[in-house]
Structure 1
Amino acid sequence: MMRLLASLLALAAMLWAPGAQAHKASDSYLNLTVEGARIEGRWDIALRDLELAVGLDADGDGALTWDEVRARHGAIAAYALTHLKLSAGGADCPLQVTQQLVDSHTDGAYTVLMLQGACAAPVETLAVGYTLLAELDPQHRGLLALRHGAATSSGILGPDNPRPQLQLAEPAGWRQFLEYAKQGVWHIWIGVDHILFLLSLLLPAVLLYRDRQWVGREGFRSAGMDVLRVVTAFTLAHSLTLTLAALGVLALPSRLVESAIAASVIVAALNNLRPLYQRGRVLFAFGFGLLHGFGFASVLADLGLPQGALLLSLVGFNLGVELGQLAIVAVFLPLAWRLRKGLFYRRVVMLGGSVAIALVAAIWLAERSLDLQLAPWSRAFA
């Protein structure tokens, strides 16, 4: 029980930690195209990460300017190329940075490194050595999309997969399916705003609101059915819009989607303080789940979908998201059920946790809707 309490307190501390990022943890996006022995690419790295690695804010005022970033172009390129090594047939494929640009992702500003390189012979298997931020952030990952002709391969680069060997022949459909399923699991686990929305809906599942107070349910079956209804509604909704957006049928502005997702987290959390729609939580999960699907689609757009196995890869990613979601439910529900009748769960976890979630989501909403960057290292260029 003490370990359980410690875990819950650690979760609360994480929610209150300053500068916590919504939607995803520290990622970079590496897109490589191989034609024969020639390699071209684009590497998007967050400026907040480069500030930690090489220092960008020369005057220390917390606001990055274009001049400050441009003055560090040499250091940025040197640091990046030191942490990315390509090889084929046992020989290195030297890379160089031909241009540096700036782009915006949903979590802030990124530098864009345009890459060129060549191997000694036409590439059949490409080895990718990736150690970016390994000395600073063990949770950092690189999201790789490798294109060769009509085929696209993807992978997650990091400490647990620092040097993958990628075959350039078009991978079998089942391998594409499994790879995108793994990507889906990873992205629901790092999608903090999606997780907090889901937890806000699940927290009252083991309780009933009677006489203006929360009390523990008596039957596990009723709690399980409530969770099943909420999760199913959320799953159906975001699966629908994820599919439509990934196929290019529907599209919404990124800022609108991300702002609405933050607002959904606030509403779901505040409803736990004084329920207004307890019986309508299923419809609420479905309605806001439609918006969350667009959020997942933006992640999938960064990864890219292989045209030769588009539908299979899309299904794999969607299934991975659901498996990651079910893993969260499988951990949450037994713990919540065991604690449901104690004051700790009802007051600290349920009410205190909901307040913490709402406050964090309010910061996200301000950042996203007003184009603010409340964390100094991610402020827009002056």
Structure 2
Amino acid sequence: MAAVSERMRMPFAAFLLACALCLAGAQAGAHPSPSSQVFLTVGADRILAEVTLPVDELKLAFPVPLLDTSGRWPMASDARVAAYVAAHLRPVAPDGRAWTVTVTRVRWELERRPADIVTDVVLRPPPGAPAGTLDLAFDAISHQVPNHATLIALRDGTPDSNPRMLAALHYGQHVVAIRVATPHWWTGSGDLFRLGMRHIAQGADHLLFLLTLLLPAALRADNGRWTGYAGTRQLVRSLLTVVTAFTLGHSLTLALGAAGLVALPSQMVEVAIALSILVSAAHAWRPIFPRREGWIAGAFGLVHGLAFAAALRELHLEGARLAAGILSFNLGIEAVQALLVLLVAPLLVLLARTRYLARTRQATSIVATVLALAWMWVRITGVVVPGLA
């Protein structure tokens, strides 16, 4: 019975590890979808809202074709876009009365990558209701795209001032309470923490790089091949080294990128991320840099951090708000990373002395290589392929 139990336990553990390592490949895309942004400026008797919607996401939710086949010319009218925004932006006074919503301008920023549609909106409270106290519901795009997020921020006094993060709305949570007198520099930190968790959990390429690099952590390298179990001490040391180096690398560029001190073209960053997966997949197949995985994790972590920073840079935070935002967002990323390591480490120990780890490692290397090459092709050519963002 013990032998039968062992034979059943090993394939099952291998299956669990393969699922953990290849889960990213089964997701809808390599990155979380680009977020929408709503920037609010409160006046004495109205609120000015600037609503930015990413075109690639809006196409999935808009009731009629948005662009022509070339993606360069609008097919939907400004009036249709304005009506859509107004229908999905619902401010309500404390007593339950609805505010009026008027879209004053629609701008198609199609030359940008990713392209956006920006609308200027005037929100007016009902008679007698305060202009700075309301519940704001917004579910544009997210009513059809469950993983889409919208960042809500409050500007101080003028449309050009730097905003304070209020909330990150998404499917199932599309209302934020706005109380102009109460926001502090740490307001919205919990939402940014959850946004960081969502960003890494939905970031298939980030997860695949890290987990593929961890795959041979329990093995010895001998004459250009992965051989037997290197011991639990070596496994723990390798896991800590890789995860710590990756964390230091992406934390540094996340902070610099979010502050606007470092920036690279997004296409270059995305291609480099796909390249990092290709390198880690090749190393998982045959040892290329045995016991130097920490250096690779740290170096490519710098690139991954620039991708993480894009989500925060859109908010234009500064000072204490920027520091709190970076810390909260990064802690969310680290929380998911820690959960992944806690899942993978015991499976590696369980499988390390069996033939199933070799099979899982080789299969994962092949899957990661195929995904990395596909992502590189899509990101270099710009060809839109559903599921390979």
> Which bin holds the TM-score, normalised by the shorter protein?
0.7 to 0.9
Q: Whole-Å Cα distance in 2 between the matches of residues 134 and 164 of structure 1?
A: 15
1:271 corresponds to: 283
Deviations 1:285-336 (Å, cap 9, x if unpaired)?
1111111121111111123325453323322222222222212222222233
Change (3 A) 1:126 1:352: farther
Secondary structure of 1:96's match?
strand
2:361 alignment partner in structure 1: 350
Structure 1 residues 88 and 340: CA distance shift in structure 2, 3 A: farther
Give the secondary-structure state (helix, strand or coil) at the position aligned to 1:300: helix
Q: Map residues 34-49 of structure 1 onto 2, 5 A cutoff.
A: 34-36=42-44, 37-49=46-58
| Equivalent in 22, 25, 28 of residue 36 of structure 2 | 28
Q: Distance in 1 between matches of 2:387 and 2:31?
A: 17
**CA RMSD across the alignment:** 3.2
SS of the aligned residue for 2:146 comes to coil
CA distance in 1, matches of 2:253, 2:243: 16
User: Of 178, 195, 198, which aligns to 1:186?
Assistant: 198
Question: Separation in 2 of the partners of 1:175 and 1:76?
Answer: 31
- Any conservation in 1 of the 2:64–2:76 contact (CA below 8 Å)? no
* Offset, 1:364: 2.1
The equivalent of 1:136 in structure 2 is 144
Q: Give the corresponding residue for 2:375.
A: 364
For the pair shown, the structure with the greater C-alpha radius of gyration is 2
Indicate yes or no: 2:246 matched with 1:246.
Answer: no
Distance 1:231 1:247, change over 3 A: same
Partner amino acid for 2:368? I
Q: Which stretch shows the higher mean deviation, 278-287 or 185-194?
A: 185-194
SS at match of 1:279: coil
Name the CA shift for 1:293/1:6 in 2 (closer, same or farther; >3 Å): closer
Q: Which amino acid aligns with 1:241?
A: T
Partner of 2:179: 167
User: Given the superposition, is the C-alpha separation of residues 268 and 181 from structure 1 closer, same or farther in structure 2, using an over 3 Å criterion?
Assistant: same
Secondary structure class of the residue paired with 1:250: coil
Cα shift at 1:99? 0.9
> Structure 1: 5+ residue runs without aligned partners?
none
Change (3 A) 1:172 1:116: closer
Amino acid across the alignment from 2:378: E
Question: Number of residue pairs matched?
Answer: 370
Matches of 1:32 and 1:174, distance apart in 2: 18
Query: Do the aligned partners of 1:151 and 1:170 also contact (CA within 8 Å) in 2?
Result: no
**Match status 1:87 vs 2:112:** no
- What corresponds to 1:101 in structure 2? 108
CA distance, structure 2, for counterparts of residue 330 and residue 78 of structure 1: 48
User: Aligned in 2, Cα 1:131/1:57: closer, same or farther, shift over 3 Å?
Assistant: closer
1:234 positional shift: 0.9
Match of 2:384 among 374, 377, 382: 374
d(CA) in 2 for partners of 1:232, 1:10: 20
Q: Deviations over 1:169-225 (max 9, x none)?
A: 353344444443333222222222211111121111133334655445253232111
TM-score (norm 2): 0.82
- Name the SS of the counterpart of 1:298 in structure 2: helix
Provide the rounded CA distance (Å) in 2 between the counterparts of 1:160 and 1:52.
16
Distance 1:362 1:115, change over 3 A: farther
Deviation at 1:13, TM superposition (A): 7.1
One-letter amino acid of the structure 2 residue matched with residue 375 of structure 1? V
Give the letter aligned to residue 25 of structure 2: L
Structure 2 partner of 1:335: 347
